[in-house]
Amino acid sequence: SLQLHPGRRRKLSSCNSIENADLITSPCAAEARVLVINTGGTIGMTLHDDVLAPQANAFVKSLRKLPIVHDETYAQQTRMYEYYGSDTLVLPKPAPHPDLQFHGLSKQNKRIVYTILEYNPLLDSSNMTTDDWGRIGKDIERNYESYDGFVILHGTDTMAYTASALSFMCEHLGKPIILTGSQVPIYEMRNDGRDNLLGALLIAGQFVIPEVCLYFYNKLYRGNRVTKVDAGSFNAFSSPNLPPLATAEVDIAINWDTVWRANTTAKFQVKTELNRNVGLLRLFPGITASTVKAFLQPPMEGVVLETYGSGNAPDNRPDLLEQLKKATDAGVIIINCTQCLRGSVSTSYATGKVLIEAGLIAGGDMTPEAALSKLSYVLAKKELDLEAKKKMMAENLRGEMIADLAGAKLCLSDSRFIQVIAKSLSVSCKEELEAIRDALTPTLACAAAKIGDIEALKALKEMGSNLCLGDYDGRTPLHVAACEGHLKMVQYLLSHGASVHAKDRYGDTPLCNAVRFRRKEVVKLLRKTGAHFSRHELEEAGTEMCSLAANGDMDGLEIWSLAGADLNQPGYDGQTAIQVAQAIGKKDVVAFLLRLMSKKSKSGVIQ
């Protein structure tokens, strides 16, 4: 019954008018096909002897009677069952949806035709094993080309594990795979199953989101980012470290920036080989070394160690650390994940550093579910040696973590930076791109400021770059533009958030730079915007102006004056510039200084 029925397509292809898509005589124009794999879970459970258990062969029959999820008239008039089989249903025609048109995915609202493949036995998800994950993966692979998207009905208890595992097993995925289920059976009067099923079907059928996702309570999440957080609420899942990929409120709003981008030309395939010698170990105060030792014994090959806070473990427990070190030396891969619901492991504490010394790999902001299934997937890769597997564990494979981009924040010559760029060109998610962008911005913006290329700065700004950021020497684009005397550029920067008070590593502000390079107009503009010398700089200016006076450098004196220096400020020996000029007989300088002073007193301090 899961065969594609090309006959229907061919027969109906004689209908040539898309405008007639809503007429039953021409259903071919706007249909999306979704395969629903029903693995079990509460959504299809009924009460037996006072406990909920899956009910076989009831789901399709029940849905067929629900007009909200099935349009029997359409099915009959288009002879749908003949072509797609009796386990196929079709959603009613949805109201026009502007979002779909906006994204150009579908000019028409599509009919979602969905075929249900029911597993036997149906499982409470507590009974799921890695074999079941493999079965789901293979069924998707087998039917991949016949459907636009896939919905997996699954119990909520282990849904986060299955979603994580499938995200890794499905390599080069190009279509949506959406897991959903419910907290209350769909047969109950008040239930969350109907909404969850409908939402998952609509998204799977109409949006090309090439990810394994989880849809629950009006939100679409990245599957490997979720965890079940509530046993008694319809809002059962949380994605603590990544915002939802979509929200289904009045409109279905897809957060396209966060959606994983296809990064390969390779064909979709499902890797069902999984290593089961993996485990989760949660640290707790007082855990004994023998517990840890026992846990890490062969055949254990990969462990997710759930540590405290930002990836910490006791650094006063050599017995414990020794067991961890012994295991990693023996080739066990241990991933450091936090027990906290939200946040990431870091090495800012001594108690975190000891784990790196013990050979652990930082798991970033991965959920334990994602880390465990990733281990299972990576360890099963027979073609890779241990080092390659470790490297893979530390990398962001499917958006399950924010890769360690610390290197990207250092400088361009850091080879890790280049690697990160190279990687992000092929593997990218919103967070990675933002980190790269932030790392590149200062350099690119300073380069643009140097040549006065406002268009380039505009482009950077449009990317969301912050033009106030300094480079490795703390030099901001405004510093550079001030040095070069690019007045328009300075103007642009000042009106787009650049700070006149930014100091580079030498303590210099853009005003200091403009004075040094004698950029008169820039100095004026900066002063107008509130730039000023520090008190210390103003004191130092005395000596500087004395030597300018001695050299007869009137341009220099004017610049200092424009920049706010007091022409009467004495130098290191107590003499002022005018006294120096008088002493050495530079009458023109004296006259110039007097003119400047009277001009200044007439017009106030700022020119």
Instruction: List, by residue number, the catalytic residues.
Output: 42
> Residue 589, exposed/middle/buried by CB under 10 A (0-12, 13-18, 19+)?
buried
Cβ within 8 Å of residue 477, ≥6 positions away: 442, 445, 446, 448, 449, 457, 467, 489, 493, 498
CA dist., res. 527 & res. 533, Å (int):
10
Q: Name the segment binding ligand ASN (CB under 6 A); options: 124-132, 269-277, 338-346, 435-443.
A: 124-132
H helix intervals, 231-385: 289-295, 318-329, 350-357, 368-379
Residue 198 beta carbon to ligand ASN: minimum distance, rounded to whole angstroms: 17
CB neighbours of residue 450 within 10 Å: 15
On whether the CB atoms of residues 475 and 414 are closer than 8 A, the answer is: no
Interface pick for ligand ASN out of 125, 367, 561, 576 (rule CB under 6 A): 125
Q: Name the segment binding ligand ASN (CB under 6 A); options: 103-111, 153-161, 394-402, 430-438.
A: 153-161
Does the footprint of ligand ASN cover residue 44 (CB under 6 A)?
no
Q: How far is CA 352 from CA 308, 346, 542, 581, in A?
A: 9, 7, 52, 65
> Residue 575, exposed/middle/buried by CB under 10 A (0-12, 13-18, 19+)?
middle
Q: Name the segment binding ligand ASN (CB under 6 A); options: 118-126, 200-208, 475-483, 596-604.
A: 118-126
CB neighbours of residue 38 within 10 Å: 23
Does the footprint of ligand ASN cover residue 193 (CB under 6 A)?
no
Quote helix, strand, coil % in the chain, to nearest 5: 45, 15, 40
Does the footprint of ligand ASN cover residue 183 (CB under 6 A)?
yes
Does the footprint of ligand ASN cover residue 561 (CB under 6 A)?
no
Q: Name the segment binding ligand ASN (CB under 6 A); options: 149-157, 163-171, 330-338, 544-552.
A: 149-157
Closer Cβ to ligand ASN, 115 or 183, answer by number: 183
Does the footprint of ligand ASN cover residue 192 (CB under 6 A)?
no
CA dist., res. 57 & res. 64, Å (int):
12
Closer Cβ to ligand ASN, 232 or 574, answer by number: 232
CA dist., res. 396 & res. 400, Å (int):
6
Residue 175 beta carbon to ligand ASN: minimum distance, rounded to whole angstroms: 25
Interface pick for ligand ASN out of 41, 193, 199, 477 (rule CB under 6 A): 41
On whether the CB atoms of residues 133 and 213 are closer than 8 A, the answer is: no
CB neighbours of residue 329 within 10 Å: 10
Residue nearest ligand ASN (C-beta atom): 155
Residue 445 beta carbon to ligand ASN: minimum distance, rounded to whole angstroms: 51
Structure tokens given for 497: 């958030």
Amino acid at 91: L
Residue 135 beta carbon to ligand ASN: minimum distance, rounded to whole angstroms: 16
Does the footprint of ligand ASN cover residue 134 (CB under 6 A)?
no
Does the footprint of ligand ASN cover residue 181 (CB under 6 A)?
yes
Closer Cβ to ligand ASN, 88 or 156, answer by number: 156
Residue 39 beta carbon to ligand ASN: minimum distance, rounded to whole angstroms: 9
Does the footprint of ligand ASN cover residue 185 (CB under 6 A)?
no
On whether the CB atoms of residues 404 and 362 are closer than 8 A, the answer is: yes
Residue 209 beta carbon to ligand ASN: minimum distance, rounded to whole angstroms: 23
CA dist., res. 520 & res. 560, Å (int):
10
Closer Cβ to ligand ASN, 183 or 275, answer by number: 183
Q: Name the segment binding ligand ASN (CB under 6 A); options: 151-159, 249-257, 315-323, 342-350.
A: 151-159
Residue 184 beta carbon to ligand ASN: minimum distance, rounded to whole angstroms: 8
Closer Cβ to ligand ASN, 124 or 504, answer by number: 124
Interface pick for ligand ASN out of 134, 137, 149, 155 (rule CB under 6 A): 155
Closer Cβ to ligand ASN, 44 or 352, answer by number: 44
Closer Cβ to ligand ASN, 42 or 323, answer by number: 42
Cβ within 8 Å of residue 604, ≥6 positions away: none
Q: Among 406, 464, 471, which Cα is nearest to 437's?
A: 464
Does the footprint of ligand ASN cover residue 195 (CB under 6 A)?
no
Q: Name the segment binding ligand ASN (CB under 6 A); options: 152-160, 264-272, 367-375, 445-453.
A: 152-160
Interface pick for ligand ASN out of 31, 33, 38, 42 (rule CB under 6 A): 42
Q: Name the segment binding ligand ASN (CB under 6 A); options: 71-79, 99-107, 150-158, 451-459.
A: 150-158
Q: What is the DSSP letter of 304?
A: E
Residue 188 beta carbon to ligand ASN: minimum distance, rounded to whole angstroms: 12
Does the footprint of ligand ASN cover residue 569 (CB under 6 A)?
no
Residue 112 beta carbon to ligand ASN: minimum distance, rounded to whole angstroms: 23
H helix intervals, 79-234: 80-84, 98-102, 130-143, 159-169, 193-206
167 φ/ψ angles, rounded to the nearest 5 degrees: -60, -35
Interface pick for ligand ASN out of 157, 192, 306, 544 (rule CB under 6 A): 157
Beta-bridge partners for 54: 45
Q: Among 307, 298, 345, 364, which Cα is nearest to 326's?
A: 298
Interface pick for ligand ASN out of 87, 124, 369, 504 (rule CB under 6 A): 124
265 φ/ψ angles, rounded to the nearest 5 degrees: -105, 5
CA dist., res. 469 & res. 197, Å (int):
46
Residue 213 beta carbon to ligand ASN: minimum distance, rounded to whole angstroms: 17
Chain positions 401 to 460 lying near ligand ASN, rule: CB under 6 A, are: none
Would you tell me which residues interact with ligand ASN (CB under 6 A)? 41-42, 124-126, 155-157, 181, 183
